[in-house]
Chains A and B, each alone.
Chain A
Amino acid sequence: MSSRPLTDAARGELRLWLAQRASAAVLAACVIVHLALIIYAVRSGLTAAAILGRTQGSLIWLGFYLVFVAAVALHAPIGVRQIVREMTGWRGRSLDAAAAVFAAALALLGVRAVWGLFA
């Protein structure tokens, strides 16, 4: 048998699956923290001043939410791509490109939000 028996396409899918699971593990941790934080934030007040007073200048939270955004930008597009492939006829490069655009959009919007709140 050749030393690389897996086709490139199959290896690509395997990597996406792995990225999905790995980002899921990261998100599992992030989501617990986020849920706790949201419940705390709701108790402590949700005006812009109150929120920004708590978040701005915090490097730790900036770092945390950047990791969160990165994991989400990986996890959500892979998930949606899989749903589209299974439930519609759309497959192939054009779908992969659309998923990549979705990932880029999430990353950009996410970093913008994190910057606005924590920088």
Chain B
Amino acid sequence: MSGAASTLSVKVWRGREDGAFQDFAVPQAQNQTVLDVVTWIQRHLDPTLAYRFACRVGMCGSCAMTVNGRPRWTCRTQVAAVAGDGGLSLAPLANLPVIKDLATDMTAFFDKWQRAGGRFRPTGTRADEFATVPPATPGRRAADAGIECIGCGVCHAACDIVRWNPDYLGPAALNRAWTLVNDVRDAGGEARLAAVAGDAGCHACHSTESCREHCPKHINPTAAIAGLKRATTLALLKGRL
């Protein structure tokens, strides 16, 4: 980096849950992203710093972490937009166990995905014709609104219900379940509705909308969860659950 006039003070979480913040001074540069900062620290100051990234261009979600208290993608967060006077504070994504420094164990996040019935259950075989699904149908529009999720964990980290209720499946898993409930090719049926009902499921959501507020793909899990509430209620009233 060419001689930058100013330095950025960066606090980075080190260790596991019982770790601590460590201070670093990083030269500021134009158009610097938070990922640039983390990478600079690891390459020039401390090679033992553990963090994740992959695509660097806002497609994979691997770089999600807590930046100044909010869960974000560091590759898409400009330092200039978030640093202010106090510099940067970087911590691992919330509501997940910490492996080391800025890397979390996402096993629980994906386990919840499975427990919510987030797996497509096919009905067709290779002998059948392709399913014809008009994109303008309400079901397909509802599904399309949620299928861009890449499982980055930001919504899960932002959600207070996830924090208070360790069993709660969370916005990403429930959003995925909703896309499948609306998929005409899927055979998940009542089993999936049962999986997302109750306290660990959609009924634990209080529509605080922290998920929608923070989702980098502008997905609305609150709306998906509301849909699941309607679907499960209907199924219960019809005696199917």
Contact = CB atoms under 8 A, between A and B. Distances in A.
Is there any pair of Cβ atoms, one from A and one from B, under 8 angstroms apart in the complex?
yes
Interface of A: 1, 4-7, 9-11, 13-15, 17-18, 85-87
A13 B203 contact: yes
Contacts of A7: 194, 198
Interface in B175-208: 189-191, 193-195, 197-201, 203
A18 B233 contact: yes
A86 B165 contact: yes
B164 interface: yes
> Which 9 residue pairs are nearest across A and B when measured between Cβ atoms?
A10-B198, A5-B194, A6-B194, A17-B203, A13-B198, A86-B164, A6-B241, A1-B191, A13-B199
Given A11-B241, A13-B203, A86-B161, A5 B198 contact: no
24 contacts: A1-B189, A1-B190, A1-B191, A5-B191, A5-B194, A5-B195, A6-B198, A7-B194, A7-B198, A9-B198, A10-B197, A10-B201, A11-B241, A13-B197, A13-B198, A14-B241, A17-B203, A17-B229, A18-B233, A18-B236, A85-B199, A86-B161, A86-B164, A86-B165
A10 B167 CA distance: 12
Nearest to A18: B233
A61 to B, nearest CB: 32
Interface in B135-169: 161, 164-165
Nearest to A9: B198
Which secondary structure dominates chain B's binding surface? helix
Q: How large is the interface on B (under 10, 10 to 19, 20 to 34, 35 or more residues)?
A: 20 to 34
B232 interface: yes
A18 B233 CA distance: 7
A5 B193 CA distance: 9
Given A1-B191, A5-B194, A9-B198, A14 B164 contact: no
Contacts of B191: 1, 5
B202 to A, nearest CB: 9
A11 B193 CA distance: 12
Contacts of B198: 6-7, 9-11, 13-14
Interface string B19-52: 0000000000000000000000000000000000
Contacts of A14: 197-198, 203, 232-233, 236, 241
Given A14-B232, A15-B236, 17 more contacts: A1-B189, A1-B190, A4-B241, A5-B191, A5-B193, A6-B194, A6-B236, A10-B197, A10-B198, A10-B200, A11-B198, A13-B197, A13-B199, A14-B203, A17-B229, A86-B161, A87-B164
